[in-house]
Amino acid sequence: MSSVAAVLNLDIEGPRISRHLYGHFAEHLGRCIYGGFYVGEDSDIPNAGGIRMDVVEALRALNIPNLRWPGGCFADEYHWMDGIGPKERRPKMVNTHWGNVEENNHFGTHEFMALCELLGAEPYISGNVGSGTVKEMSDWVEYLTRDGDSPMVRLRKANGREEPWRVTYWGLGNEAWGCGGNMNAEQYTAEARKYGTYARDHGDNRLYRVAAGANSDDYSWTETLMKSLGTLGCAYRPQPYVQALSLHYYTIAGTWQDKGDATVFDTGDHYATMAAAARVEELIARHSTVMDCYDPGRTVGLVLDEWGTWWNVEPGTNPGFLYQQNTLRDALVASLHFDVFHRHAERLVMANIAQTVNVLQAMILTDPESGALVLTPTYHVFEMNKGHQDAASLRVDTPGGLPARDGLATVSMSASRKDGRVLVSLSNLHADEDADVELDLRGGRLDGVTSRILTAGRLQDHNTPQAPDAVAPRPHAQVTPTATGLRVHLPAHSFVTVEGRLA
């Protein structure tokens, strides 16, 4: 067993952890929207206007701050006008990216905005740059956010919505370097300037426009955007047509062709996964450094609007539907990401896990036959960590270093304070060794300390309709007071949260 000495200054607040780092993503892909969020009004599954209420209730418990939609790659072939008006008159299309299945457009703008209202989440809409037009995007913004009288306002009202919605987060395309148009950085930058200009602020609605950023470690993409999207010079001034850049990074432990199995893996695969997940810190730090060169005042946000594990699809499922199981290993990938996000909260303003229901690293899996809903281990990490949303980050120092295995630190931690409460998150990524963390609490005391743990007998354990709580949080008794703070015992492969009131 290893022992880790950690220093936590309870009275020195770092940057605020935006709640939007706990954002989500729902694409028209496989069973995420249809069968996941949306079952249609005639379904036997309880629904509100076709939206599954058990899914909504489960997600409300996470305080999900925002939901990105309609893609992903789908966003750049989506024409929003196909998804408004009476459903029986909406044109059908083929979802060429994801399984070549028919898309009937029954879930469109009004349904998405109703979903956001039910969730209490802010919409984050990805506009179509790849195959759309500037006018199409401009009209969509007007349709959603303008008040008074205009062609798009009249159309919205004719479709039953009198008041404009409030929309802040707006994506200018998706993966422009790939499925979003196969552009180079210079081409896309020119598009982003144009699309960003005509995605207008109507009335007092202020858009936060997110330019389609880099894939993984493509730092030159970030540099090209930063150079061109602001006025260069010592007093860098971002232009009003773009407020942030995105970044996509998936945890893939195998190769792109054979990503590995979600539930059948060995210890070596586990460590390869943790190493791939930990790499997100290097990527965020380096993209931030590039941004710092041009924007030292950190006015332009970095938005990691796709992250998570990507495994081979479950045997027997449509390869284009990206349906995968979710084990305790996935939960540790999530907890590790959140520690990184908290450390980089000054530049990283939003992150969206891919994807919320039935696709990639989902929170919720639904059974296509019975309709049964299962909460995944990853769901529980989001729930256990929700106290970090909009909290002030607290730095955790480990003067003696962290236990490591082949260069991978096997213990990860982060902390925050909000409303007189402190939340500490601790992960032990080691497959079979326990760890003790000696938390030296400085600048305050904690009262009423409680703790929860997410673990299971095996890293491969996961939840199913037959065993929905195989991996679920439980109270954790192994937190003991010491002369200087707390000793937190972390069993092998576990995620623990410790919470207390500032005394």
Residues classed as catalytic = 175, 306
Q: What does the block give as tokens for 318?
A: 């449509």
Taking the complex as a whole, the smallest distance from the CB of residue 277 to ligand AHR amounts, in Å, to 16
Strand bridging mode 446-455 / 474-475: antiparallel
The H helix count followed by the E strand count for the chain is 9, 28
Q: At what angle do helices 328-343 and 267-294 cross, to 10 degrees?
A: 20
Residue nearest to ligand AHR (CB): 72
Please report whether residue 129 would count as binding ligand AHR according to CB under 6 A: no
Binding mask 369-408 for ligand AHR (x = CB under 6 A): ----------------------------------------
Alpha carbons 385 and 437: distance in angstroms, whole number? 19
Please report whether residue 72 would count as binding ligand AHR according to CB under 6 A: yes
Which of 262, 354, 365, 453: binder of ligand AHR (CB under 6 A)?
354
Nearest Cα residue to 60 out of 358, 294, 382, 283: 382
Taking the complex as a whole, the smallest distance from the CB of residue 444 to ligand AHR amounts, in Å, to 42
Indicate the DSSP class of residue 347.
Answer: T
Sole window of 57-65, 70-78, 283-291, 418-426 interacting with ligand AHR (rule: CB under 6 A):
70-78
Q: Which is nearer to ligand AHR, 164 or 308 (CB)?
A: 308
Taking the complex as a whole, the smallest distance from the CB of residue 457 to ligand AHR amounts, in Å, to 31
Number of residues that bind ligand AHR (CB under 6 A): 10
> Coil, helix or strand for 205?
coil
Instruction: Give residues 8-67 in contact with ligand AHR (rule: CB under 6 A).
Output: 27
Sole window of 6-14, 353-361, 409-417, 419-427 interacting with ligand AHR (rule: CB under 6 A):
353-361
Q: Are 33 and 26 in contact (CB under 8 A)?
A: yes
Alpha carbons 290 and 252: distance in angstroms, whole number? 25
Binding mask 157-176 for ligand AHR (x = CB under 6 A): -----------------xx-
> Coil, helix or strand for 400?
coil
Taking the complex as a whole, the smallest distance from the CB of residue 367 to ligand AHR amounts, in Å, to 22
Q: Which is nearer to ligand AHR, 265 or 310 (CB)?
A: 310
Which residues partner with 421 through β-bridges? Answer: 418, 501
Sole window of 54-62, 68-76, 154-162, 236-244 interacting with ligand AHR (rule: CB under 6 A):
68-76
Taking the complex as a whole, the smallest distance from the CB of residue 151 to ligand AHR amounts, in Å, to 31
Which of 56, 64, 73, 278: binder of ligand AHR (CB under 6 A)?
73
Strand bridging mode 2-16 / 435-442: parallel
* 233 backbone φψ class: left, alpha, beta (φ>0; ψ -120 to 50): left
- Cβ neighbours, 10 Å, residue 43: 13
Q: Which is nearer to ligand AHR, 324 or 410 (CB)?
A: 324
Helix, strand, coil distribution of the chain in percent, nearest 5: 25, 30, 40
Amino acid at 29: L
Q: Which is nearer to ligand AHR, 58 or 362 (CB)?
A: 362
Which residues partner with 125 through β-bridges? Answer: 69, 170
- Convert 366-387 to b/e letters by CB count within 10 Å (16 or more is b): beeeeeebbbbbbbbbbbbbbb
Amino acid at 414: S
Nearest Cα residue to 373 out of 56, 113, 60: 56
Q: Which is nearer to ligand AHR, 314 or 433 (CB)?
A: 314
- Cβ neighbours, 10 Å, residue 456: 18
Taking the complex as a whole, the smallest distance from the CB of residue 72 to ligand AHR amounts, in Å, to 3
Taking the complex as a whole, the smallest distance from the CB of residue 308 to ligand AHR amounts, in Å, to 8
Sole window of 71-79, 110-118, 412-420, 440-448 interacting with ligand AHR (rule: CB under 6 A):
71-79
Which of 23, 35, 65, 71: binder of ligand AHR (CB under 6 A)?
71
Taking the complex as a whole, the smallest distance from the CB of residue 59 to ligand AHR amounts, in Å, to 18
Please report whether residue 313 would count as binding ligand AHR according to CB under 6 A: no
Q: Which helix (H) or strand (E) holds 143?
A: helix 134-145
Q: Which is nearer to ligand AHR, 174 or 428 (CB)?
A: 174
Q: Which is nearer to ligand AHR, 359 or 435 (CB)?
A: 359
Question: For 413, how many CA atoms within 13 A lie in the half-sphere containing its CB?
Answer: 26
Taking the complex as a whole, the smallest distance from the CB of residue 224 to ligand AHR amounts, in Å, to 19
Q: Which is nearer to ligand AHR, 140 or 321 (CB)?
A: 321
Please report whether residue 306 would count as binding ligand AHR according to CB under 6 A: yes
Nearest Cα residue to 241 out of 203, 202, 211: 211
Largest pairwise CA distance in the chain: 70
Indicate the DSSP class of residue 314.
Answer: P
- Cβ neighbours, 10 Å, residue 100: 10
Nearest Cα residue to 222 out of 189, 195, 264: 189
Sole window of 206-214, 352-360, 373-381, 462-470 interacting with ligand AHR (rule: CB under 6 A):
352-360
Taking the complex as a whole, the smallest distance from the CB of residue 15 to ligand AHR amounts, in Å, to 28
Please report whether residue 77 would count as binding ligand AHR according to CB under 6 A: no
- Cβ neighbours, 10 Å, residue 7: 16
Q: Which is nearer to ligand AHR, 181 or 500 (CB)?
A: 181
Q: Which is nearer to ligand AHR, 14 or 178 (CB)?
A: 178
What is the binding site for ligand AHR (CB under 6 A)?
A: 27, 71-73, 174-175, 306, 354-355, 360
